[in-house]
Amino acid sequence: MTNKPGHYRWAICSLLFFATTINYLDRQVVGYLKPILEKQFSWTETDYSHIVMAFTAAYALGLLLFGRIIDKLGSKLGYTVSIAIWSIAAMLHAVVRTTLGFGIVRATLGLGESGNFPSAIKTVVEWFPKKERALATGFFDSGANIGAVLAPVVIPWLLGIYGWQAAFMITGGLGILWLVAWLYMYNVPHKHKKLSAMELAYIKSDAGQPEAAGQPAVSWFKLFGLKQTWAFIIGKFFTDPIWYFFMYWLPSYFSSAFHLDLKKPTPPLIIIYTAATLGALGGGYLSSTLIKKGWAVYKARKCALLVSALTVLPIFASRYTQDIWVVVGLISLSIAGNAAWSANIYTIVSDMLPGKAVSSVVGIGGMAGAVGGVLFPIGIGAVLDHYKALHNITAGYNIIFIFCSLSFLLAWLLIHLLTPKMEPVDF
């Protein structure tokens, strides 16, 4: 990166990384405070499930809407609106006094957080040539994994010292601090005073640059008629639910299968989520390096996606061992493949579609992934309840691991059939 003419674009990418870290930290607070809040508000499990559903539904809808808004307003204003909404909503958790109030602020949080990925992808398209976009995407996307690693450390610490209200206020306040830095540091490249002429020329080295804010957005009707859009929808629908599973069920799996005490620091989970960070960076580096070596963009992306899908496969072998560290190794490899896939699947949108449609398609695909994230837990619950009744819940997890191992290969095959050469669209 340093042998290129300037590197201010990586400072902008660092902002995206910190925004994504805060995004995932804010959404996880309520899960770690659940035992406290259940007593505080006399919640039933049904009450809590409704609160989770409120977030997920608003997040899915918000992805569709924010993708459209950001394509019209541009990345700077769109990101500003998004993080302002979610940061205020995060802090409002500390002042609500009813279950209904929690549901409302939780839905508002989901709505605001949905703007993160469409905004970040739009920013990457504006600031990076195609050969660096996967690496940049992998870098900022690794913030999600850092958030997952920080949550079990930061949230219990805040709870113990300052109380549950402060946990919401402080984590939400991080977004406000980020917003100040964003408004100070960010502008589109051709208007940025700190960007050298050489770096600007490098950023614009690809043919066909993203359009400025204010250009008419492409209609949803036209976008849904494109096989390129459906390739991204498929890539998200079949694979996002696996990440949700890794996020929300792995602690329970280790508790059930290996009697891990979740009230204490948990090295196995820290190792696994750290592997996701390495996978996000490695997946982006792989396709970016192949492009720099002269590979066609579509071949480099397809190769990186295939390698990522194959890396997820070993998780099915967890059923054949009782050694916790072997299982940690297998799951770490698989979750690294998941993160590498994510770094590249986002990038194919800007490979195939013009800048004025990128955020809209990212929003559409993100909504598809969120819908999958709602449907998959239904199957997870049915399988785990069945095997729990048989006093063999580990066998239930093993079945789910098999599905997880195959889902990425299935998605890759469908993407390849739809877009063999990932032909760009020119409206």
Task: Give 375-387 pLDDT, tens digit per residue.
Answer: 887 787 778 878 8
Other beta carbons less than 10 A from residue 321's beta carbon? 12
Q: Which of 93, 104, 107, 112 lies closest to 19 in space, CA to CA?
A: 112
User: What are the pLDDT digits (tens) for 147-179?
Assistant: 877 877 788 788 888 888 898 999 999 999 999
144, 25 in Cβ contact below 8 A? no
Q: What is the 3-state secondary structure (H, E, C) of 112-158?
A: HHCCHHHHHHHHHHHHCCHHHHHHHHHHHHHHHHHHHHHHHHHHHHH
250, 272 in Cβ contact below 8 A? yes
- Residue 239 has which token pair? 């694979």
- Output the pTM of the full model: 0.75
CA distance 203 to 320: 49
Sign of torsion over alpha carbons 70, 74, 75, 78: negative
Q: At 264, which helix (H) or strand (E)?
A: none
Please report the pLDDT score of residue 143 as a whole number: 85
CA distance 51 to 99: 8
Q: What are phi and psi of 42, to 5 degrees?
A: 55, 45
Q: Which residue has the tokens 């540091």?
A: 185
Alpha-carbon dihedral angle through residues 27, 28, 31, 34, given to the nearest 10 degrees: -80
pLDDT in tens, the chain (427 residues): 445 577 889 999 999 999 999 998 888 788 777 778 878 888 776 677 678 778 888 888 888 888 888 888 888 898 999 999 999 999 999 998 888 888 899 999 999 999 998 899 889 989 998 888 888 888 888 887 788 778 777 887 888 888 888 989 999 999 999 999 999 999 888 888 888 888 888 888 865 444 444 455 677 788 888 999 999 999 999 998 898 788 777 777 887 788 876 556 678 878 888 898 889 889 888 988 998 898 998 899 999 999 999 999 999 898 888 899 999 999 999 999 999 998 899 888 888 988 778 878 888 898 898 888 778 877 877 788 788 788 887 888 889 899 999 999 999 999 999 999 888 887 6
Please report the pLDDT score of residue 320 as a whole number: 85
10, 1 in Cβ contact below 8 A? yes
Q: Going by C-beta distance under 8 Å and a sequence separation of 6 or more, which residues neighbour residue 310?
A: 337, 409
CA distance 334 to 177: 34
- Residue 388 has which token pair? 């729990």
DSSP 270-299: HHHHHHHHHHHHHHHHHHHHHHHTT--HHH
Q: Which of 352, 130, 354, 122 lies closest to 228 in space, CA to CA?
A: 352
CA distance 96 to 49: 18
Please report the pLDDT score of residue 45 as a whole number: 60
Write down the CATH number for the domain with range 8-418.
Answer: 1.20.1250.20
42: left (phi over 0), alpha (psi -120 to 50) or beta: left
CA distance 396 to 383: 6
CA distance 280 to 411: 18
SS3 content of the chain, % helix, strand, coil (to 5): 80, 0, 20
CA distance 216 to 238: 31
CA distance 171 to 154: 9
122, 95 in Cβ contact below 8 A? no
